Chains A and B, each alone.
Chain A
Amino acid sequence: MTPSTVILEALESFLRSGLGGARENLAGVDGLVAYQTKIAANLLSMLRREQELAPALASWDQKLAVHAKLATDTKVLEGIAVALRDGRLEADDALIGLLRQRTLTRLQIDNPRYSGCVQAEQRWSRVGEELMKN
């Protein structure tokens, strides 16, 4: 069976090839269509990254839930945001550390080319590897 990551990759490559033609053809397609085709291809590559990084993301959510003593069936991010708003949860180093890693993983899925992603990797990736082991 073809894994879904392979299908996503094939779809992305199809779209980037300019609706079936050579890669350069994308420039020849009508401007708006070319632009939207590029967005579609970018979204597919994002979904592929999401499949690859889903276990890491789930692991950070799990660690955040444990830290904030939230029940496993609650929405973790919403629960933490509301607790921070209401002063029921302290924004201590441990929480900030986990939020950095969770956000970095999310951004590595959403837009790894964003300048802030590169900066955050330089500052926090090594800490993240240590945290992930615990």
Chain B
Amino acid sequence: MSETLQVEQLVVPVSRVLGEREVHIDCLCRLSGGANMQTWSLDARTAELSYPLILRRKPMGVGQEAHSIPASTGAVDQRPNPISISALSLSTEASLISLAAAMGVKVPRVWGVLEDHENLGEGMLLERLDGEAVPPRILRDPKLERARGSFAREVGKELARLHAAPIDRCPSQLRNISWEADLQRLQSLSDHFRNPSPVHQLAINWLREQSAPQSPRVLCHGDFRLGNILMDETGVVSILDWELAHVGYAGEDLGYLCANVWRFGGTKPVAGLGDYESLLESYTKHGGSSITMEELHLWQVYAALGWGFSCLTMLELHLSGEDPGLERAAVGRRLSESEIDILLLLEGR
């Protein structure tokens, strides 16, 4: 039942969040997602109006998602993965998106969240927007040439607006830990995976030797990169996927966007298609604080390490049987991408 979804199950919740007496639902189809997070597309119609919608859904509900690694695999530590603990619930994500909208960030409209008595698990209904999110197409599609030219400035503006959000208005569930605690978290992750990479350890040690980042503490998107940025011919349409949002340093979102793994083979430093100067100038022009190149470099090392831990986490999901697909197994082999990026970034430092 959790894998499938019938239009009949959605009529009541969709009518409720749209504030319509009764809607007709069609074109329901599954877009993507693993066992834990499903993304569905659907259209809801009334006599007068049509609403294109996205449903993001965790069929199990967050409480039942805690990791348990079968002892038989023997490949990983039995303790819960420290990453999975910090995943946001969809209702928290919904309130964050609304906060971002209030700050003027381009986001999809949140129509509402599923309620417990509707028995569909956790879910959030969003406006479905047209545009391109697939990174290689954004990097190469001739139709997006002009949008690529203004990308670095546009995202500089979006990030400045987001980072202006008052931290005391953020949901209290957001991760908000000190630099020192974050470094300890990274070490715990490495230990959790049984220290598979000397290069990851070099990165952790190097980060420990640096002074704490200088940029202000802000609401960070946490996964700000192509793939989560919807584009069309006119430019940025919307910022998607807020589940890794947290309170952190402003430099993190900017450095992450510039990390080599998130350039998808593009040659320029900002998301593979823009330059540093445009990003930083636009960011400060729209109210962001000034971020040094040194700090951007530090966050690129941090992002490379983060990619390594993501690869290990996906391998863990595969080995635990939680998500046995080919894709997770394959991503486990991309660990060496994170290692080479770290070694390249640390050369001469």
User: A-side interface residues toward B, CB under 8 Å?
Assistant: 36, 39-40, 42-43, 46, 77-78, 80-82, 84-85, 91, 96, 99-100, 103-104, 106-107, 109-111, 113-117, 119-120, 123
Contacts and interface: CB of A to CB of B under 8 A. Distances in A.
Contacts of B320: none
A78 B201 CA distance: 10
A52 B339 CA distance: 21
Contact of A103 (B190, B199, B260, B329): B199
Contact of A115 (B194, B205, B260, B333): B260
Contacts, number: 91
Chain A interface helix/strand/loop/mixed: helix
A104 B341 CA distance: 10
Interface of B: 187, 190, 194-202, 204-205, 260, 263, 265, 325-327, 329-330, 333-337, 339-341, 343-344, 347
Question: Which of A99, A116, A117 has the most C-beta atoms of chain B within 10 angstroms of its own C-beta?
Answer: A116
Contacts of B265: 113, 115
A87 to B, nearest CB: 9
Given A43-B330, A85-B205, 15 more contacts: A43-B329, A43-B333, A78-B196, A85-B187, A85-B190, A99-B202, A107-B340, A111-B334, A113-B265, A114-B340, A116-B260, A116-B337, A116-B340, A119-B340, A123-B347
Given A42-B330, A82-B195, A115-B265, A107 B337 contact: yes
23 contacts: A39-B330, A78-B194, A81-B197, A81-B198, A81-B200, A84-B198, A85-B187, A96-B202, A99-B202, A99-B343, A100-B343, A103-B199, A103-B340, A107-B336, A107-B340, A110-B334, A110-B337, A111-B337, A114-B340, A115-B265, A116-B337, A120-B343, A120-B344
A88 B226 CA distance: 40
B80 to A, nearest CB: 21
A119 to B, nearest CB: 6
Instruction: List the 3 shortest-distance A-B pairs measured between CB atoms, nearest first.
Output: A81-B195, A116-B340, A107-B336
B333 A103 contact: no
Contact of A110 (B198, B325, B336): B336
A36 B327 contact: yes
Contact of A120 (B204, B335, B340): B340
